[in-house]
Amino acid sequence: MNFFTTQIRFKRIGMVLLISIFFSFNGVEAQEQLVEVKAYTNLIEAFQNSSDVRILHLNGQGFKNLPRQIGNLQNLTELNLGSNSLTTVPKEIGRLRNLQSLWLFGNWLATLPEEVGELHNLEELSLSRNLLITLPKEIRRLQNLQVLNLSDNRPTFTVLPKEIGELRNLKELNLENNSLTTIPKEIGKLQNLKWLRLGSNSLTTLPKEIGKLRNLKELDLSSNSLSVKEKKRIRKLLPKCSIIYF
pLDDT at 235: 98
User: How much is the pTM?
Assistant: 0.87
Task: Write b or e for each residue in 60-86: b if 16 or more Cβ atoms lie within 10 A of its Cβ, otherwise e.
Answer: eeebeebeeebbbbeebbbbbbbbbeb
Sign of the alpha-carbon torsion through 40, 46, 51, 54? positive
Q: Using one digit for the tens of pLDDT, what is the confidence trace for 88-101?
A: 999 999 999 999 99
Spell out the domain ranges in the chain.
1-38, 39-244
Residues 173 and 160: their CA atoms lie apart, in Å, by 12
pLDDT at 93: 98
Residue 122 to residues 6, 109, 174, 222, 243: CA-CA distances in angstroms? 20, 19, 17, 29, 29
Are 40 and 55 contacting, i.e. CB atoms less than 8 angstroms apart? yes
pLDDT at 32: 46
Residues 36 and 18: their CA atoms lie apart, in Å, by 6
Are 122 and 98 contacting, i.e. CB atoms less than 8 angstroms apart? no
Listed as ranges, residues in the chain with pLDDT below 50 are 1-15, 17-32, 34
Query: What class has domain 1-38?
Result: mainly beta
The CATH architecture one would assign to domain 39-244 is Alpha-Beta Horseshoe (3.80)
Q: Using one digit for the tens of pLDDT, what is the confidence trace for 48-89?
A: 999 999 999 999 999 999 999 999 999 999 999 999 999 999
Helix (H, G, I), strand (E, B) or coil at 203: coil
